[in-house]
Amino acid sequence: MAAERIQLLEEKNIHLWFGGSPVVLCTMKLELDKKVGAIFAYGKMLNVQPEHIQEVVFDLICYDSVRLIVNTIENCKYTGLDVPRNGVFGMDVPIRVRNPSTRNIEFVIKSVTTTSGETWENKDGIRFNMSLEQKSLFNVQGDLNKQFIDNCIRDGIDYTRLIFQPVFNSSYWLCSCGALNWSDENVCCECKVSRKWLYDNIQSEVLRAQTEERKAAAAKIRMESEARNKLDREHNKETFEKRKAEYENQLKKQNNRRAVKKALLLLVVVLLIAGGVLAFLTYALPYIRYQDAVATMNRGEYNSAIEKFDNMNGYLDSAEQKTECVYKLAIDKYYERNYSDSADLFSGIPGYKDSESMYMSSLIGIADGYLEEGKYFDALEMYIKAGVDYKTNDNAKKCTDELYQSAVKELNANNLTGSYEKFAVLGDYKKSKEYANECQYRLAERYYKRGEYKKAIDIYTDIAGYKDIDEKLDGIQDLTIVLSAAADEDTPAVWEIYDGVCQKCQKKAQYIFEFYQSGKFKFEVECDNGCEIEEMTGKFKIESKKLYLSEYVRGILTWKEAADIKSIKTDTQSVDGKNTAIVMTDPLNKKNKKTITLYGNNISDSTISIE
């Protein structure tokens, strides 16, 4: 139904920029909503500067079909954002276009404000004038592309992400992954490939020389291989003739022994028939297998010995011998510095000899390896698992210091999730606990502004008592109860009333209100007279006993008061099994000032319901 009422007037997938702009214009679209008889404009933009974007202000120039200006909408905004670098935004925000003859649009950026409060202004009113479209790297390199891929594999670079011909400019450079980087950035902000490496490895003359060198080396290897094969064939022929002569001599001697062997074979058959088979299978065979397993262990072939002992079903001390094999294999792995395997093996034989202390030593070895690679988070997690304290171990202290400094930098850069994870693992080190709470506080504020209420409420609850959290929780107590009827993010909290009022015929109707944890709502009305009433959708918030619904005015998200919440009664028992009642003014018939009661199921430990 919604698709039939929308007519696409114009859509352009572009990649436009101008020097110094913090954003790239990716897509422009015009749609006619036939139901309301209005045209709406949409634009998708890309953040290409390091800071998170909070707000973008722009003018929207409207053109008719012959490219004449028919209207200019000034100071449109995308606001309330938190867009990281290389994140897109704007495509879900409709901007109403007043002139019905509009058939084309142009976005003119005026200012961009980051979450840190800094504002960039386009004082000269520069338009988007530069295409950032890149050629296919494969089409440019042709046969040399294989050598480029070989270079990527050689240097541990994911070549599947490098699909465009890079562009190097005095003020910026475009990576092969498509990301825009500034001139002072030596590593791509998206795929982390070095600019110097990329520049050195896309030069045609370099790739051609490497290709020729590779072909020459392959030709040399083929020639050497053919020469070796020829020598091997000649040697094999001589060996065959020699072995043939020896075989003929042995055959003569074997003929003389054949009669003796037949007699011995007959004797063995007689013994087996006489009952030797049962004794052999019962006593001799298991012992032979046991001795074979012991011999395999003594040769140091522990994996094979473990398998053999494991198949003996507890014969003699095979279980203990298997444990000893595992222990010796773990020791070998440990002294080979293969600490990951040794930790796995030692953990499988707890209590055997010094396996527990060797397990901890293996964990420390793993942690030291992570520290050498600069993976401080992984290293500290492993040190903690091994029971190593930064107060007594120099490596753990170095790792803790580095991780703390990294976490502080990420906090200052507003990378809240990453910094929180680090502060959380740091425990009581310096101000880690305080900073961890601050990360959670800011993250909850971010979620709440986005309308992701469940995520925000969960964090607010976890850090209750910090700053003004208790006050915030009091202010959204009604919101918390309303959303508690939702089982998960995709399943809405459903609140219903059967004696509502139809907006068209003013007769009795059923209201079905759905509130999602993501901040979206849907209102449906089912009229007893069968009136067709279109559902309402959008975003909502509940603060200080009031329900607000969202609407866009010239592209700016605003909140309109929709209802007053009189009370919420929990642990009630309605006739249809609902346990919670919301008493509020009617948001669909506000002029009537009627109070309605919505019923739903509040999910909690004290839930009361009627079967």
- 318: in domain: no
- 209: in domain: yes
Domain span at residue 100 reads 6-131
Q: What pLDDT shows up at residue 171?
A: 85
Please tell me the total count of domains within the chain. 4
- 301: in domain: no
Q: What pLDDT shows up at residue 609?
A: 29
For residues 118 and 20, membership in a common domain is answered with yes
For residues 109 and 147, membership in a common domain is answered with no
Which of 131, 154, 175 finishes a domain?
Answer: 131
- 407: in domain: no
The sheet with strand 172-174 has its strands ordered as 167-168, 172-174, 180-182
Q: What pLDDT shows up at residue 183?
A: 86
Q: List the CATH number of the domain containing 15.
A: 2.60.40.3230
pLDDT mean by block of 10 residues, the chain; 611 residues: 74 90 94 88 94 94 91 93 93 91 93 91 92 89 89 87 91 93 90 92 90 80 66 64 65 57 53 53 75 92 93 88 94 93 94 92 93 91 89 91 92 88 92 94 91 91 93 90 83 87 86 91 90 87 91 76 88 68 86 82 45 26
CA distance 102 to 40: 10
- 265: in domain: yes
3-state helix, strand, coil in the chain (%, to 5): 45, 25, 30
Residue 67 CB-density burial (10 A; 0-12 exposed, 13-18 middle, 19+ buried): exposed
For residues 143 and 116, membership in a common domain is answered with no
Q: What pLDDT shows up at residue 569?
A: 83
Q: What pLDDT shows up at residue 610?
A: 28
Residue 439 CB-density burial (10 A; 0-12 exposed, 13-18 middle, 19+ buried): buried
Q: What pLDDT shows up at residue 2?
A: 47
Which tokens go with 60? Answer: 């929207």
- 121: in domain: yes
Q: What pLDDT shows up at residue 605?
A: 38
For residues 104 and 29, membership in a common domain is answered with yes
For residues 212 and 108, membership in a common domain is answered with no
For residues 172 and 262, membership in a common domain is answered with no
- 186: in domain: yes
Q: Give, to the nearest 10 degrees, the angle between helix 355-372 and helix 339-347.
A: 150
Q: What pLDDT shows up at residue 168?
A: 92
Please answer whether residues 433 and 427 qualify as being in contact, where contact means their C-beta atoms are separated by less than 8 angstroms.
yes
For residues 144 and 219, membership in a common domain is answered with no
For residues 153 and 258, membership in a common domain is answered with no
Which of 153, 179, 202 finishes a domain?
Answer: 202
3-state secondary structure at position 10: strand
Cross-strand bridge partners of residue 494? 514
For residues 151 and 123, membership in a common domain is answered with no
Please answer whether residues 580 and 590 qualify as being in contact, where contact means their C-beta atoms are separated by less than 8 angstroms.
no
CA distance 532 to 320: 78
Q: List the CATH number of the domain containing 568.
A: 2.40.128
CA distance 401 to 420: 16
Q: What pLDDT shows up at residue 498?
A: 83
- 141: in domain: yes
For residues 65 and 143, membership in a common domain is answered with no
Which of 292, 319, 339 finishes a domain?
Answer: 292
CA distance 88 to 23: 9
Nearest alpha-carbon partner for 130 in 277, 24, 51, 262: 24
Q: What pLDDT shows up at residue 254?
A: 58
Backbone φ and ψ of 607, nearest 5°: -60, 130
Backbone φ and ψ of 7, nearest 5°: -115, 125
For residues 239 and 177, membership in a common domain is answered with no
For residues 211 and 196, membership in a common domain is answered with no
Taking the C-alpha atoms of 355, 358, 359 and 364 in order, what is their torsion angle to the nearest 10 degrees? Answer: 170
